[in-house]
Amino acid sequence: MSDATHALALEHPTSTGIDTRKLAIWTFIGSECLFFASLISTYLVFRGKVIQHGVGPFPHDPWTSPTGQHFDPILEIKLVTVGTALLLFSSLFVVIALNGAQRNRRGQFLSFLGLTIMCGIFFVGMQVYEFTHFVHEGLKLQTNLFGASFFTLTGFHGTHVTIGVIWLITMFILGVRGKVPPGKALNLELAALYWHFVDVVWIVIFPVVYLMK
């Protein structure tokens, strides 16, 4: 993290042998698990109830409005599957980037970090496209319980991805400036841990929202 945190964290050997900042990221991740668990539970609570209350569009079922307008199931699983695959691969890429940083292989570090960032940007872009497409199709946050719970859950996840992308871009810029030598590879590892978490959350969200009918 910063020089100042770094300084104090290194003052004494730690009681566990784990770097204090790494422990902090894991602790934060543990807490965030409950945050997403609550959002996912909310989504699940409303999953069956959407149809009962009449107003579409719906995620997996077609719907005809009272005025006769027909809506297909609104989820575009193919596109999101591509985004999911890229997000999963980005976790691999960031591990390779970290390996490069730790072994002083600048090319490997920067190129794979760049790939990670591009995958992240694609994922966020896919979500922005998906959201605007849904609104265009008539599904807004307020339209029905699916809209409310879907946009809230995936929106908060997307926000977390965006923050992760900003963090990784920061690490990339630092890397280009030569400020991430092997001794400071931990700074990238912290970002990578957060990135893996964001990925794992999506691994739960994707089946629950897109695959389960």
Partner 1 sequence: MATTVIDHAPARAHAAKTGIWSWITTVDHKRIGILYGATAFGFFLMGGIEALLLRIQLGRPDNTFLSPETYNQLFTMHGTTMIFLAVMPLSAMFFNFFIPLLIGARDVAFPRLNAFSYWVFLLGGLFLNSGFLFGAAPNDGWFGYANLTSNQYSPGLNVDFWMIGLQILGIASLAAGVNFFVTVINLRAPGMKLMRMPVFVWMSFITQVLILLAFPVITVALILVMFDRFFGTHFYIPSAGGDPLLWQHLFWIFGHPEVYILILPSFGIVSEILPVFSRKPLFGYAAMVFSGIFIAFLSFGVWSHHMFATGMGPIADTAFSLTTMLIAIPTGVKIFNWIGTMWGGSIQAKTPMYFCVGFIAMFIIGGLSGVMHASPPADLQQTDTYFVVAHFHYVLFGGSIFALTGGAYYWWPKMFGRMLSEKLGKVHFWLMLIGFNLTFFPMHFVGLLGMPRRVYTYPAGLGFDIYNQIETAGAFFLLVAFLVFLWNIYVTWRKPADAPADPWNGATLEWAIPSPPPEFNFAEIPTVRSRDPLWETKRQHGGRLPEPARVSGAGIHMPNPSFWPVLAAAGVTAVFVSLMLLPKLGPAGVVVAVLFLFFSVFKWAFEPA
Omega before 57 within 30 of 0, i.e. cis: yes
> Could you say which residues in the range 24-43 bind partner 1, by CB under 8 A?
24, 27-28, 30-32, 34-35, 38-39, 42
Stretch that binds partner 1, among 10-18, 79-87, 113-121, 190-198 (CB under 8 A): 10-18
The CB-of-90 to partner 1 minimum distance in angstroms stands at: 22
Contacts of 98 (CB under 8 A, 6+ apart): 109, 185, 188, 189, 192
Given the complex with partner 1, which of 86 and 153 has the nearer CB atom?
Answer: 153
Task: Convert 126-165 to b/e letters by CB count within 10 Å (16 or more is b).
Answer: bbeebbeebeeebbeeebbbbbbbbbebbeebbebbbebb
Is 11 among the residues that bind partner 1 (CB under 8 A)? yes
Distance from chain centroid for Cα 75: 19
- Tell whether residue 68 is a contact of partner 1 (CB under 8 A): no
- Of the chain, the end-to-end C-alpha distance in Å amounts to 43
Instruction: Please report whether residue 196 would count as binding partner 1 according to CB under 8 A.
Output: no
Q: Scanning residues 146 to 175, which ones bind partner 1 (CB under 8 A)?
A: 147-149, 152, 156, 166, 170
Considering only 3, 66, 136, 178, the residue that binds partner 1 (CB under 8 A) is: 3
DSSP secondary structure of 146-177:
HHHHHHHHHHHHHHHHHHHHHHHHHHHHHHHT
Residues that bind partner 1 (CB under 8 A): 1-20, 23-24, 27-28, 30-32, 34-35, 38-39, 42, 45-46, 49-50, 52-53, 141-142, 144-145, 147-149, 152, 156, 166, 170, 183-184, 186
